[in-house]
Amino acid sequence: MRSTFVDACRRKQVDHTPVWFMRQAGRYLPSYRKLRSQKGMLEIAKDPRLASDVTVDPVRELGVDAAVVFADIMLPLEGVGVKFRIEENVGPIIERPIAGREDVEALADFDPDAHAGYVLETIALAVEKLAGTPLVGFSGAPFTLASYLVEGGPSREFQKTKKMMYSDPEAWDLLMSKLTRLVAAYLGAQVRSGVDAVQVFDSWVGCLSPEDYRRYVRPYTSAVFGGVAGSVPTIHFCANSSALVEEFAATGAEVISVDWRVPVDSVWDRAGKDKGVQGNLDPVLAATGGGAMEDAVAGIMRKASGRRGHIFNLGHGVLRDTPPENLRRVVQMVQGWKGGA
């Protein structure tokens, strides 16, 4: 079965612009809220039957062109010995953050089948339930995972992470090398389990300058994409990424996913016409709805007009108070766009 989403990722001619939403599997949907009143997020993610249902629900509810696996970027870290919890409205909290080389050396090797088999089973079940709708797999990027491990949780300044990067490059290289092998193995297993594309979330790397990204991060991210190259389309996402578009293009990712701070048409100019571009509605506009949202959707579609390889998405994840009817309206507008596309 041909997929509009996969074809767009590969810059083929499509009959409409495909649309899906980051974090579409979860917290804004009444069905998920009902489930969450009974079970924790990680409990759901580790139950393939429940997680596959949550994965599929948005396709039925919204009519999007792709599903995304319900999981969390922190899950594979459990397999290498990292203990963490996820606090509501805060994010992941690491029990024992990495402070130096000894802590990095203590990280175990990652085996996707042994350590994340439930995610792979979720993928297999979701593929069966989706009956042809493509499924996006994902992982956190080495830098973003490293920042959680070193900072101990979410951060604004990333001071501890940058300090290790600058002052102990050997420990940094060891940490990033281990995480690169983890991410590559994890994504490879997802591909073998049936996903149709993979997205690497480097959510926090926008804190770096282009020079630091090039020196301390890009070789590892490039190795991740090199490990799955040619199997399924690859997508690179980062928030606050305007300074790094050219660097992301050099990682080997086929699609560059940007936030609302970057004009979507400028990404092709900066990254190259051979790249797909994903984005980039402000999630607050999706939560707000009405004329402001519709004007923004139309503006993005006009900027992408005539370009192959556009996948419509938000510039970050769906906010929990977003009315589903707003997202349905976005899907309706994008899939039915006739304004010069």
Is the predicted pLDDT of residue 283 greater than 90, yes or no?
A: yes
Tens digit of each residue's pLDDT (9 = 90 or more) over 168-192:
999 999 999 999 999 999 999 999 9
Is the Cα dihedral 36, 37, 42, 45 positive or negative? negative
**pLDDT at res. 110:** 98
Tens digit of each residue's pLDDT (9 = 90 or more) over 129-172:
999 999 999 999 999 999 999 999 999 999 999 999 999 999 99
- 139 beta partners: 200
Percent of the chain with pLDDT over 70: 99
Buried b (16+ CB within 10 A) or exposed e, 135-168: bbbbbbbbbbbbbbbbbbeebeebebbbebbeee
Task: Indicate the pTM of the whole model.
Answer: 0.96
Which DSSP letter does residue 78 get? Answer: G
Percent of the chain with pLDDT over 90: 94
- What would the two tokens of residue 308 be? 């192959």
Buried b (16+ CB within 10 A) or exposed e, 321-330: ebebebbebb
Which DSSP letter does residue 244 get? Answer: G
Tens digit of each residue's pLDDT (9 = 90 or more) over 240-253:
989 999 999 999 99
Is the predicted pLDDT of residue 339 greater than 80, yes or no?
A: no
State the chain's mean pLDDT as an integer: 96
Distance set, CA 58 to CA 23, 32, 116, 163 (Å): 10, 10, 23, 41
* Domain residue limits, the chain: 41-63+67-195+197-232
- What would the two tokens of residue 113 be? 């089948």
Architecture of the CATH domain 41-63+67-195+197-232: Alpha-Beta Barrel (3.20)
Predicted confidence band of residue 2 (pLDDT cuts 50, 70, 90): low
Predicted confidence band of residue 340 (pLDDT cuts 50, 70, 90): very low
First to last CA, the chain: 24
Task: Report the alpha-carbon angle 110-147-119, nearest 5.
Answer: 40
The average pLDDT across 104-129 equals 98
Predicted confidence band of residue 49 (pLDDT cuts 50, 70, 90): very high
The amino acid sitting at 129 is K
